[in-house]
Amino acid sequence: MEYKAPLRDMRFVLHELFDATGHCELLGNGLDRELIDGVLEEAARYTGGEIAPLNRNSDEEGVTLENGEVRTPQGFVEAYKQYVDNGWASMTGPTEYGGQGFPQLVASNFHEMLMGASLSFRIYSGLTEGAVLALYKHGSEELKNAYLEKLVSGRWSGTMCLTEPQAGTDLALLRTRAEPQADGSYTVSGSKIFISGGEHDMSENIVHLVLARLPDAPAGVKGISLLLVPKFIANADGTPGERNALSCGAIEHKMGIKGAATCVMNFDGATGWVVGEPNQGLACMFTMMNDARFQVGLQGLGIAEQAYQGSLAYARERLQSRGLAGAQHPDKVADPIIVHPDVRRMLLTQKTLVEGSRMLAAYCARQLDLEHGHPEPSYRKAASKRAALLIPIVKAFFTDMGQEVASLGVQVYGGHGYIREWGMEQLMRDSRITQLYEGTNGIQALDYIRRKLLGDGGAELSAFQAEFSEVCDRQIDRPALHDMASKVQARIGEWRELSAEIIAATGRDPQEIGAVSVDFLQYSAYVLLAGLWLQAAARAQDALEQGSGEEAFYQAKLASADFYLRRVLPRASAHREAIKGGAECLMALPETDFAF
C-alpha cells in the first residue's frame, strides 16, 4: 500500500490554525515557513519513497533472534542509516548536543508520516527521543557528555525498561535490583519484558533506561530508581566499549508490528548509573513517558491516515451496483462505491476523525514546546498543566480512533480488506497495540480523571473549556457559522456540567472514578474535536470571504466540519448517558456470578 503524506492538510493546521512561524519566533529557533514547508516536503519523499515500501515485507518477514542477536527485516538497516545520515534522528534534539532543536509542532508531522508509512520501523527510533529528554533533564554532566550526543544523532538508540512479568501497570511490584559499587556505578539484575527495540542491528549501541530498586529503597513506587544501562559501555573517546552483562532472552511473537523487535531483556549484574536522584526514578521516567504517550497517540493518527488513504483510493476505483438515485457513471458497468451513502459515511467518519485529531495533535505539541521553551516561567508552567491534561486524551482517543478508522478501512474494502494482498488488515493488526502500551487506554482515562480533573478540582479543565467557549463567542454572530458555533457552545456548557457532576459523584463514592473514566475521556475528546473543527471552519470561511484561492479545499473543510457536528459529535451523548449510569450497576454483580 502506498503512503502519501497529507501535506496540504498539515500546512493548513501548522500555518493557518496555529501560526507555526510565529510560534518558532517566540521559541527563537530560527525556523520560518519556507524552511518548515521544505523540511516537510523532504520528509514526505523519505517516508513515502523509502519507508512505506518496507512495511508489508516487514510484516511478512518479521525479526529473528539468533545467539542473542536480533536481525531486523530486510531494508531496515539501510533505511535507518538514511534516517541518521539525513538528520531526521536529530530533528528534536537539544542543539548543544548536536540536535536541530525543531519544535514538536513541526516535528510531530514528520513523526506522523513515519507512523503511517511503517509503524514497525518507527518503533526503533521512537523511544530514543524520550531517552534524550530524560537524560537531558535529569542526567549528570558525566552521563550527558558520554551518551547524549550519540543518542541525539541516532547512532545510538534508546529504550524504556519498565515492565516485568508480575509488574505491568503496578510499578510498585518491580523486583529488578541495583547494587551500589565502589566506583559510583551499580550492578543491575533482573528481567524486563515487552521492551521495544531492546535488541537490534540498526544502531551501534542501545542505551537502556531501567527502573530498579536500590538495597535501601522504601517500599512501593517511592523506592524506584532510574538507571542508564548501555549495551556497550562508552569508552572515554565516546566509542562503544566493553559489552555489558545484559542480553535479549527472547522476542515476542505478536499479532502486529511484526517488524519491530519486542524483547525480553535480562540484566545479569549489568553496569549502570543512576539518572537523577536515587528513589526518584518514577519522576524521571515520566519525563520520558509523557513524550512516549504523545508519540503513541501519533501512531494512532498515522495509521488512521494511511487507512483513510487506502479506503478513499479503493472507493474511487471499486465498481459495484448503481447509486440509489440512479446511475452516476452510466459509461461504466457499475458506479464506484464512493457514490453510496454508507460508504460516504465511513469515509467521512475516517476523514473527520483523522483531520480533527491532527488539529488536536498540533495543539498538544504546541503546549509541549511552550512548556520547555517559552521565555516566561509563568507561561511555561501554564503550558505544562495544559499538556498534562491533554496527554491522556491524545494517547487514548487517537489510538482508539486509529483502530476504528482501520476497521472502517477493512469494511470499505469488503472481503478484500480481510486478506493480506491489500494491506488494510495489517493496519488493523498493527494499530491494536497502540491501545495497550505506554499505559492501556483505561489507565489513561484513570489518569485523566484522578490526576487531571480531581487533582486540582477541575480548575485546569475549566480554563480549557473557557478557552473554547470564547472561540464559540467569536463565531456565533457570523451567519455562516452561527449554527456550528451554537452546537459547540451547547456541548461545552454540557461538558462543564458533567465535569462538576463527576467531581461530586467521585467524592461520594471512589468507585465512580473507574466507572466513568473511559466515557468521560471519550466525551471530552469528541467535544474538544468539535471546538477544533469550529476553528477550522472559521478559518475556511475567512479564506473564502477573502477570495484567497483553493475554494474546493476550504469548502471541503466547511463540509467536513458540518458532517462532524451532525454525525460524529452525537456520540458524546451516548458517553454522557453511560456516565450517568454510575458505578452501582458495575459493582452490584457478585464476582461469583460471573461464572459460566
- Mean of pLDDT over the chain: 96
Q: Could you give the residue numbers annotated as active site? A: 438
CA distance 450 to 513: 7
Q: At 233, is the secondary structure helix, strand, or coil?
A: strand
> What does the pLDDT read at residue 236?
85
Between CA 491 and CA 495, with CA 492 as vertex, the angle to 5 degrees is: 85
pLDDT band at 286 (very low <50, low <70, confident <90, very high): confident
Q: Residue 548: is its pLDDT beyond 90?
A: no
pLDDT band at 170 (very low <50, low <70, confident <90, very high): confident
Q: Residue 507: is its pLDDT beyond 90?
A: yes
b/e per residue 499-517 (b: at least 16 CB within 10 A): beebbebbeeeeebbbbbb
Mean pLDDT of all residues in 108-120: 98
Domains of the chain plus CATH, in order, are: 288-581 (1.20.140.10)
Among the listed ranges 165-169, 269-273, 348-352, 524-528, which one has the minimum average pLDDT value?
165-169
Contact by Cβ (8 Å): 106, 36:
yes
Give the distance, in angstroms, between the CA of residue 313 and the centroid of all CA atoms in the same chain.
25
> What does the pLDDT read at residue 202?
97
pLDDT band at 169 (very low <50, low <70, confident <90, very high): confident
Q: At 269, is the secondary structure helix, strand, or coil?
A: strand
CA distance 201 to 78: 11
pLDDT tens digits, 318-335? 999 999 999 999 999 999
Q: Residue 172: is its pLDDT beyond 90?
A: no
> What does the pLDDT read at residue 282?
87
Residue type, position 89, single letter? A
> What does the pLDDT read at residue 454?
97
Q: Residue 112: is its pLDDT beyond 90?
A: yes
Give the distance, in angstroms, between the CA of residue 122 and the centroid of all CA atoms in the same chain.
12
pLDDT band at 386 (very low <50, low <70, confident <90, very high): very high
> What does the pLDDT read at residue 52?
98
Q: Residue 290: is its pLDDT beyond 90?
A: no
Contact by Cβ (8 Å): 69, 199:
yes
CA distance 469 to 467: 5
DSSP of 297-319: HHHHHHHHHHHHHHHHHHHHH-B
- Percentage of the chain beyond pLDDT 70 is 100
pLDDT tens digits, 53-79? 999 999 999 999 999 999 999 999 999
Mean pLDDT of all residues in 429-450: 97
Mean pLDDT of all residues in 100-125: 97
Residue type, position 157, single letter? S
Distant-in-sequence, close-in-space partners of 374: CB < 8 Å, separation ≥ 6: 26, 27, 380, 383
> What does the pLDDT read at residue 238?
85
Which residues does residue 317 pair with via DSSP β-bridges, in sequence order? none
Report the number of secondary-structure helices (H) and strands (E) in the chain. Answer: 20, 11
SS3 track for 314-326 = HHHHCECCCCCCC
Mean pLDDT of all residues in 177-185: 97
The helix (H) or strand (E) run that includes residue 440 is: none
Q: Which residue has the cell 438515485?
A: 325
> What does the pLDDT read at residue 475?
98
pLDDT band at 85 (very low <50, low <70, confident <90, very high): very high
pLDDT band at 288 (very low <50, low <70, confident <90, very high): confident
Q: Residue 135: is its pLDDT beyond 90?
A: yes
pLDDT tens digits, 4-52? 999 999 999 999 999 999 999 999 999 999 999 999 999 999 999 999 9
> What does the pLDDT read at residue 167?
83
Question: What's the Cα-to-Cα distance from 458 to each of 463, 501, 523, rounded to whole Å?
Answer: 9, 11, 16
